[in-house]
Amino acid sequence: MYSGTAPYYDKIYQWKDYAGEVARILALLGEPSPSTSNSTRGALLDVACGTGAHLEHFSEHFRVEGLDLCPELLEVARARLPGVPLHAGDMLSFALGRTFDIVTCLFSAIGYVGTIDGLHRAIERMGAHVTPGGALVIEPWFTPDEFRANSAHLLTIDEPELKIARVNTSTRNGRVSVMDLHHLIGTPEETVHIVEHHELTLFEPEEMVAAFEASGFQVEIDEEGLTGRGLYYGRKESHHR
């Protein structure tokens, strides 16, 4: 999906406050902040880790690992995080054979699972990798009521040797949001046009909660979340298998 734009991913999303997002997650989970603890502790897995920007900050607190489906994004993440285990895998079916104190799935990647069944399978897979008493944190995509269909969007990067214009019109097909992201990327060597096709399912809050509970989690909802889309998080019941 990101085969052509992976080298520019961090430029395109440079507006994201990864450090602030990690700090907010730790606060919601009741984890000590860097000011109160400098020790690395516990284990954390970031599912759909992308270029590893969240992992970079989580690594200040935990032994971290990442998983992503896109080899080009993982290549960027490996350059950023030498020595960190980064796995190629699908959130619907991955099995690493061990558990973690915290599993995260951020930046609305859960929207790519496609169906309610896919939502349950993905959360089951993530939950299977959470140690009893550990936490699962998922940042959702928009709900059906929140998504603005038939809207046009523009993002630009203007640097001396890099120009990017990303334009798309967001549309909707039933419960699925559809976006063809048109990237015009200019460098001193060439200008290229790359189109990425994205489809993310619009899940209702009660569907997210039901998937959490089915996998043995007592779920809480932070309405604002990290980017205004909300955040689901919960602890795994110790008796759940």
pLDDT in tens, 49-78: 999 999 999 999 999 999 999 999 999 999
Q: Map out the domains of the chain as residue ranges.
A: 6-141+203-236, 151-201
Confidence of residue 35 (pLDDT cuts 50, 70, 90): very low
Q: How many CB atoms lie within 10 A of CB 177?
A: 21
Joined tokens for residue 50 = 């992308």
pLDDT, tens digit (0-9, with 9 covering 90-100), for 114-153: 999 999 999 999 999 999 999 999 999 999 999 999 999 9
Average pLDDT estimate for 32-44: 61
For the segment(s) 151-201, the CATH number from 3.10.20.740, 2.60.40.10, 2.20.130.10, 2.60.120.200 is 2.20.130.10
Confidence of residue 1 (pLDDT cuts 50, 70, 90): confident
**What integer best gives the mean pLDDT of the chain?**
95
> Of 133, 139, 137, which is closest to residue 203 (Cα–Cα)?
139
* CA–CA dist 4, 150 (Å, integer): 26
User: In this predicted structure, what is the pLDDT of residue 164?
Assistant: 98
User: What is the residue whose two structure tokens read 């939950």?
Assistant: 127
- 185, with CB counted inside 10 A (0-12, 13-18, 19+), is buried
Burial 40-70 (b: 16+ CB within 10 A, else e): eeebbbbbbbbbbbbbbbbbebbbbbbbbbb
Joined tokens for residue 211 = 């998937």
Residue 166 has pLDDT above 80, yes or no: yes
Instruction: Please say whether the beta carbons of 17 and 34 come within 8 A.
Output: no
User: What is the residue whose two structure tokens read 């897995």?
Assistant: 45
User: In this predicted structure, what is the pLDDT of residue 75?
Assistant: 98
pLDDT, tens digit (0-9, with 9 covering 90-100), for 65-116: 999 999 999 999 999 999 999 999 999 999 999 999 999 999 999 999 999 9
User: In this predicted structure, what is the pLDDT of residue 37?
Assistant: 46
Instruction: Return the amino acid letter for 75.
Output: E
Between 237 and 112, where is the model more confident?
112
Instruction: Return the amino acid letter for 30.
Output: G
Instruction: Return the amino acid letter for 114.
Output: G
Residue 237 has pLDDT above 50, yes or no: yes
Confidence of residue 238 (pLDDT cuts 50, 70, 90): confident
CATH code of domain 6-141+203-236? 3.40.50.150
Are the folds of 6-141+203-236 and 151-201 the same?
no
Please state, for a pLDDT cut of 70, what percent of the chain lies above it. Answer: 95
Residue 33 has pLDDT above 70, yes or no: no
Between 241 and 61, where is the model more confident?
61
Sheet containing strand 176-186, edge to edge, reads 151-159, 162-173, 176-186, 191-201
